[in-house]
């Protein structure tokens, strides 16, 4: 439907409208498709989600207000994750990005990036365990990153 929505599951009786808010994602990518194909990451008072047309969004989880929007790679299907105030998300061009989200109300600065030599799309959700970041790539490899 080309939108990110928040629903209230307690409003489940006939005639109830469970919609709390909606953020439209209607811009089309080069393949003519729009919307979100990734799972949103929730952190404090924010929802973080990459979009198929090529944006990374920071949305207020209570109101649905768009707090910030970054240009991102189109076909961004990999979900984001937040660990230790750091938003981690991969893109279609094989780059893993890390943003500082300690202040959830501002456009987060990028802390670091790492570009895979193959340039293979990172479509998996980063898994973080014992100080390491693990991601799968469309190039057929599974990567582990550490300090």
Per-residue pLDDT tens digits for 70-95: 999 998 889 999 999 999 999 999 99
Cβ atoms of 113 and 95 within 8 Å: the answer is yes
Residue 19 has pLDDT above 80, yes or no: yes
Q: Where are the domains of the chain?
A: 3-145
- pLDDT for 122: 95
The matching CATH number, chosen from 3.40.50.800, 1.20.1250.20, 2.130.10.10, 1.20.1060.10, for 3-145 is 2.130.10.10
The whole-number average pLDDT for the span 92-121 is 96
pLDDT, tens only, 44-61: 999 999 999 999 999 999
Whole-model pTM over 0.85: yes
Q: What percent of the chain has pLDDT over 90?
A: 84
What mean pLDDT do residues 110-116 have?
97
For 38-94, give the DSSP string.
Answer: SPPEEETTEEEEE-TTSEEEEEETTT--EEEEEE--TT--SPPEEETTEEEEE-TTS
- The first and second tokens of residue 98, run together, are 């890390």
Per-residue model confidence (pLDDT) at position 77: 87
Angstrom distance (rounded) from CA 128 to CA 19: 32
1: pLDDT strictly greater than 70: no
| CB neighbours of residue 20 within 10 Å | 14
């Amino acid at each position: 439907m080309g939108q990110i929505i928040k629903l209230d599951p307690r409003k489940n009786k006939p005639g109830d409208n469970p919609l709390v808010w909606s953020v439209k994602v209607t811009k089309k990518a080069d393949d003519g498709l729009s919307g979100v194909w990734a799972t949103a990451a929730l952190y404090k008072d924010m929802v973080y989600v990459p979009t198929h047309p090529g944006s990374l969004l920071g949305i207020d989880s209570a109101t649905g207000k768009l707090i910030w929007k970054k240009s991102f790679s189109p076909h961004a299907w990999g979900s984001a994750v937040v660990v230790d105030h750091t938003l981690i998300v991969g893109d279609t061009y094989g780059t893993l990005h890390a943003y500082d989200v300690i202040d959830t109300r501002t456009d987060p600065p990028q802390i670091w990036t790492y570009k895979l030599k193959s340039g293979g799309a990172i479509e998996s959700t980063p898994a973080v365990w014992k100080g390491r970041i693990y991601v799968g790539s469309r190039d057929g490899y599974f990567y582990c990153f550490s300090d």
